[in-house]
Amino acid sequence: MVHWKTGRISACPVKYQKDVTPDLIDFMKAAAEQVGDKFADDYRLLTESGVDRTLLWNSRQILRCARDFDFEAEDAMAKELAKAGDWIRVGDCDAMLGDGQRGSRAAMALVKTGRLQVPQGSRLDRHALLRNLFTS
């Protein structure tokens, strides 16, 4: 179950790609039709397809930084990013906040908002260039 910030709920069973059969799809459709909105707003089937080492690395980095629970730094970083260019190097975020690695860790945590985007196939580290949508 994924509880989105908007209040929507997604039911996301996880299966190996090799185990996804037409029968499983039919079963999930029937379950969604019978239970519907009482359980979740939408239903998605997740598999390992498309998951690679870079995606796992980036997810781990985002979670590590988000677990700082440094909302003050995240808010300050979001304000700085609103004045920055369309692309930002993660390491440059430290200078923007001026407090050790707090800026880069806040930037990595802000990736979860979708307003800082890691280009596909790029590894999230201090040298990564991120697409900055806080300017929009």
Q: How many CB atoms lie within 10 A of CB 58?
A: 19
Chain-centre distance of CA 51, in angstroms?
A: 14
More confident residue, 131 or 12: 131
Label residue 55 exposed, middle or buried (CB < 10 Å: 0-12, 13-18, 19+): middle
pLDDT digits (tens, 9 = 90+) for 43-95: 888 888 878 899 999 999 999 999 999 999 999 999 999 999 999 999 999 99
Task: Report the pLDDT value the prediction gives residue 51, as an integer from 0 to 100.
Answer: 83
Task: Report the pLDDT value the prediction gives residue 37, as an integer from 0 to 100.
Answer: 74
pTM above threshold 0.75:
no
Q: How many CB atoms lie within 10 A of CB 77?
A: 27
